[in-house]
């Protein structure tokens, strides 16, 4: 199958028709008509992954996050972006972004994948909240994230030991509004976060906890909170498109410890 045919099926023809150019889910580089036998998925395309995917023989690369360092993925010919663009062109990849439609479905696919990987049981609203059938503490969640998601160093802000059943899934980078809403609620609640602003988002939670509020945030890192969803994607499409092989490539954590 051709790259655009595969991506039209993955993103969804209805989503493409409804959003038009008002989405980042589109071709980023390469040939939409390229015939595809090998599909690589990743959270974000790094130089190391370009080399690994090229060695494997990938033709179509599906990335969740931007390639050129801005959300719209607009290419600006600075030194680093130009070097990366050349590396992608030399590798012969066709690169598509799969982001907006992944989050905008009836059930957010990233958060649904987290719930499944963590083994949580409860009522998921399809967006950013799950009410668990059994309460967990921030410390419980951090420990489980290490064991089940392979995250080396989860961090906790606020009270680490109270048990809550309401969990806010602030995966990726959801923005400060998310944490203001979280703080304003009087419900005992834990947020599981990708990345956030320490001064604006974390300091209020620390203060609230010191006043005795039952609030906490477990911070997994942007990659740590979302990348497994792209692994799930590779598993779900492997062999689906005229037998094309799909494989997930892990970009790793951004920090060195």
Model pLDDT for residues 106-128, shown as the tens digit of each residue: 999 999 999 999 999 999 999 99
pLDDT band at 21 (very low <50, low <70, confident <90, very high): confident
pLDDT at 243 over 90: yes
pLDDT at 169 over 90: yes
The predicted pLDDT at position 124 comes to: 98
Structure tokens at 208: 């609230």
**Residue 89 neighbours by CB distance under 10 Å:** 11
- Give the predicted TM-score (pTM) of the model: 0.95
pLDDT at 256 over 90: no
The predicted pLDDT at position 107 comes to: 96
pLDDT band at 244 (very low <50, low <70, confident <90, very high): very high
Structure tokens at 62: 């599906």
Please give the mean pLDDT across all residues of the chain. Answer: 96
Average of per-residue pLDDT across 182-201: 95
Taking only the tens place, the pLDDT of each residue in 28-50 is 999 999 999 999 999 999 999 99
Q: Do 1 and 242 touch, CB atoms closer than 8 A?
A: yes
The predicted pLDDT at position 20 comes to: 87
pLDDT at 257 over 90: no
CA distance 231 to 34: 23
The predicted pLDDT at position 92 comes to: 97
Taking only the tens place, the pLDDT of each residue in 45-78 is 999 999 999 999 999 999 999 999 999 999 999 9
E strands, the chain, in order: 27-29, 38-42, 60-63, 94-97, 122-124, 129-137, 155-158, 163-170, 189-193, 215-219, 245-248
Longest dimension (CA), the chain: 60
pLDDT at 237 over 90: yes
Structure tokens at 82: 């130009």
The predicted pLDDT at position 26 comes to: 95
Task: Specify burial of residue 15 (Cβ count, 10 A radius: 0-12, 13-18, 19+).
Answer: middle
The predicted pLDDT at position 46 comes to: 98
Average of per-residue pLDDT across 167-189: 94
Average of per-residue pLDDT across 144-156: 95
């Amino acid at each position: 199958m051709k790259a655009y045919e595969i991506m039209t099926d993955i993103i969804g023809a209805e989503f493409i028709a409804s959003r038009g150019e008002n989405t980042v889910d589109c071709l980023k580089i390469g040939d939409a008509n390229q015939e595809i036998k090998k599909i690589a998925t990743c959270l974000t395309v790094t130089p190391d992954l370009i080399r690994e995917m090229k060695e494997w023989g990938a033709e179509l690369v599906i990335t969740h996050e931007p390639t050129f360092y801005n959300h719209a993925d607009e290419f600006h010919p600075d030194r680093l972006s130009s070097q990366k663009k050349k590396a992608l062109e030399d590798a012969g990849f066709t690169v598509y972004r799969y982001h907006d439609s992944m989050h905008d479905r009836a059930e957010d696919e990233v958060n649904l994948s987290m719930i499944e990987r963590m083994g949580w049981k409860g009522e998921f609203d399809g967006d950013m909240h799950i009410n668990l059938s059994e309460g967990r503490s921030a410390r419980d969640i951090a420990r489980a994230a290490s064991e089940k998601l392979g995250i080396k160093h989860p961090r906790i802000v606020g009270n680490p030991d109270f048990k809550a059943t309401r969990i806010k899934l602030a995966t990726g980078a959801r923005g400060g509004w998310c944490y203001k809403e979280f703080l304003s609620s009087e419900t005992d609640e834990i947020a599981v976060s990708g990345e956030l602003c320490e001064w604006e988002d974390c300091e209020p939670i620390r203060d609230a906890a010191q006043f005795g509020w039952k609030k906490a945030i477990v911070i997994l890192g942007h990659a740590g909170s979302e990348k497994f969803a792209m692994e799930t994607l590779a598993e779900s499409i492997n062999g689906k498109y005229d037998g094309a092989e799909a494989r997930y490539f892990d970009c790793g954590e951004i920090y060195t410890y």
